[in-house]
Amino acid sequence: MVVAGRISGNTLNDSLAAQEPALALRVREEQAADLPFCLKLFTSTRIAELEALPWSTEQKAAFCKQQFEAQHQHYVTNSPGAEFLVIEQRGERIGRLYIELTDNEFTLMEITLLPVLRGQGIGTAITAELLVQAHRLGRVMSLHVEPNNPARRLYERLGFTVKDEIAFYLFMTCSPPAVASSS
């Protein structure tokens, strides 16, 4: 169900439970108390690129905190209708999911999982279900991904194609089948 430009969390939870019951996934609205967890997730995506820098652990942590806060502020400011969700598995926080639904498009702004859970089908299950919902609404689904991010292969497997390269990111879209066949 779409409510005022939003996908109902219950709809997504029901769909995930039906499609992937063994994964025991659910999403809920992000709360202020979740921000330290979200910072931990953000930091986990930057470890490899920061390893080469001659900074102390404290400097790397401060840099990641500053970058996370800037990113979060950017999302909140530039996407006021976005949904900021926490992904849970069996009641434990395992990731974050940021999405935005507009009149024309469904944007996957961010999906990040704990490092130990990456590559286990969780991101695939969530992204595939979001794609089903976007297409059911007749919306193009879009996202940005770094060219070397392993998730790019997932997105291509699900039918996303590169539409543009913007700075350090690929802009990818996947149109509903009826729209895709008419172009």
pLDDT (average), residues 87-97:
96
pLDDT category at 43 given cuts 50, 70, 90 is: very high
Tens of pLDDT, residue by residue over 122-180, are 999 999 999 999 998 899 999 999 998 889 999 999 999 999 998 889 999 999 885 44
- Residue 78's pLDDT band, with cuts at 50, 70 and 90, is very high
Of the options 3.40.50.1950, 3.40.630.30, 3.40.47.10, 3.40.50.720, the CATH number for the domain spanning 2-182: 3.40.630.30
Mean pLDDT over each residue of the chain, to the nearest integer: 89
Closest to 141 measured CA to CA, from 177, 96, 98, 108: 108
To the nearest 10°, report the CA torsion of 31, 82, 153, 96.
0
Record the pTM. Answer: 0.88
pLDDT above 90 (res 35): yes
Q: How far is CA 70 from CA 39, 123, 127, 135, 179, in A?
A: 11, 24, 25, 31, 36
pLDDT at 3 over 50: no
What are the residues facing 164 on neighbouring strands?
171
**pLDDT confidence band for 4 (50 / 70 / 90):** very low
Question: In 3-state terms, what secondary structure has residue 147?
Answer: coil
pLDDT over threshold 50, residue 183: no
Q: Are 1 and 122 in contact (CB under 8 A)?
A: no
End-to-end CA separation in angstroms for the chain: 28
